[in-house]
Structure 1
């Protein structure tokens, strides 16, 4: 099905892809780097009878517009994109937010803002901790060994700060496909997303402002993730999240595409605890 387009506050058009049960609760899924909305296809298929699944291409990726400036990828712009999508797909009811990798990293701070928090019923994070939470956690003495392991796992982020070289490398590298659902990644997906790191990472690590999140939050932790160590994924958000659930699962960083059933199981259980199915049914005659 062709996407519909939603315009963000700065005029960037975002491609929004919808599937699943139109009478179910609305899930808005945000992908990471270097992916596009198709990374969610396997999970969307498994939840098709239960939820209305909305996945949008973030700016710079997929069929969405591709701004050239680094400033266009700052977290404030990404938050405006999220608000525009939620306004378009669910103007009258809160959504269930789902993020992977950078799609999750970019959501923590907006969730501390009333304009976003009021529109979100739950948040599920996969392999995408808040950089602010992580920066505070890594500075604690008791975490020195684990912090070193995480710094080594995240060394690619420092490489992305070098001008022009990362773009040259990814342009020459073969276009990869996911091992699971084998969705295509374009050169644009790989190149434009580098600006996410340049625009946001160093500032958060130098001067962290840890966001406090009040909505029920599920952190799904793939235990074989080479980029996000389980310790930081599970521990960093604890002081800042009022209602936190952690689910450890087998799998690597791209578990959402490689093993969507592994993600679907804890996600279903989390929704079951946080969706008032009776109230939703009674307020929607077509769902009876």
Structure 2
């Protein structure tokens, strides 16, 4: 029997986080990226629950229906603290697992740095370790990452994101997963989560916090200058239009513990394009390190 997904709210420091969850057992936190929402895990959550896990997908800070925190902080260290606070609320003191796609992957790496002793294992998707990504930017990747520079333009980027029924989101999805024939129903939750100006600004603030990693030594030491022993599997798409697959080369140098890397014949949203293959990679890794 397929487990049903329940929606709840959890009080975290500074805001309320909306979550989708199902199942019982060891906690697995599933983190979405941009432009996306917790609903991206609608297929994985029941699969995790059926395998004996408590699967939880939060709407990341600033994405409706989660609150927009008053501290206006969207750096990776703060995102990692949200994850630890969520784990403390749902499984106090217990080890937990993490699945992260896109910004969820960046948050996963930061969580491994902040609280690696709590992470039993993690699977990251579509983004290599943050230190390697930012330090190895090449012209080809810079062209793919044009939106990161554009999103630094306060006010202009917000307006561009809002026009023509948020057509920019459709464009990014098409460019990043060119082989995925997504539907209006697939993308509708994302546009709903970013419908309000405050939510659109919050999503862009994630990108505006990135330069701080390059100039703030304390931030780098917190979330970038690390080698983690957390068992980690990285999954990437061979047809990813957002992150050049070559950017993942050398990722193993960031890990002292169990590590492997898997490629899928898919784009950036590989967990939506080939959910069965992605599910096998997730469950296999988690069960190995259970």
TM-score normalised by structure 1 residue count: 0.82
> Per-residue displacement from partner, 1:123-149 (whole Å, max 9, x unpaired)?
1110123332223334xxxxxxxx222
State the Cα distance separating 1:265 from its structure 2 match. Answer: 1.6
Provide the residue aligned with 1:256 in structure 2: 271
What CA distance in whole angstroms lies between the structure 2 residues aligned with 1:224 and 1:240?
A: 24
Provide the residue aligned with 2:56 in structure 1: 54
Unaligned runs of 5+ in 2: 174-181
State the Cα distance separating 1:230 from its structure 2 match. Answer: 1.1
Aligned length: 259
The residue correspondences of 1:140-179 to structure 2 (distance < 5 A) are 147-175=138-166, 179=182
Say yes or no: does 1:67 pair with 2:58: no
Residue 243 of structure 2 is aligned with which of 212, 219, 228?
Answer: 228
Contact between 1:6 and 1:13, CA under 8 Å: does it hold in 2?
yes
What CA distance in whole angstroms lies between the structure 1 residues aligned with 2:260 and 2:54?
A: 23
The residue correspondences of 1:108-257 to structure 2 (distance < 5 A) are 108-113=109-114, 116-138=115-137, 147-175=138-166, 179=182, 182=186, 184-185=189-190, 186=192, 187-188=195-196, 190-199=200-209, 201-205=210-214, 209-235=224-250, 237-242=251-256, 243-257=258-272
Contact between 2:122 and 2:286, CA under 8 Å: does it hold in 1?
no
Greater CA deviation, 220-229 or 72-81?
72-81
Provide the residue aligned with 2:176 in structure 1: none
- From the superposition, tell whether residues 267 and 65 of structure 1 become closer, same or farther in structure 2 (CA, over 3 Å): same
- From the superposition, tell whether residues 12 and 234 of structure 1 become closer, same or farther in structure 2 (CA, over 3 Å): farther
Contact between 1:96 and 1:121, CA under 8 Å: does it hold in 2?
yes
Provide the residue aligned with 1:14 in structure 2: 17
What CA distance in whole angstroms lies between the structure 2 residues aligned with 1:105 and 1:132?
A: 10
- From the superposition, tell whether residues 110 and 52 of structure 1 become closer, same or farther in structure 2 (CA, over 3 Å): closer
Say yes or no: does 1:30 pair with 2:31: yes
State the Cα distance separating 1:110 from its structure 2 match. Answer: 2.8
State the Cα distance separating 1:68 from its structure 2 match. Answer: 6.4
TM-score normalised by structure 2 residue count: 0.81
Unaligned runs of 5+ in 1: 139-146, 276-288
Q: Secondary structure at the match of 1:3?
A: strand
- From the superposition, tell whether residues 270 and 244 of structure 1 become closer, same or farther in structure 2 (CA, over 3 Å): same
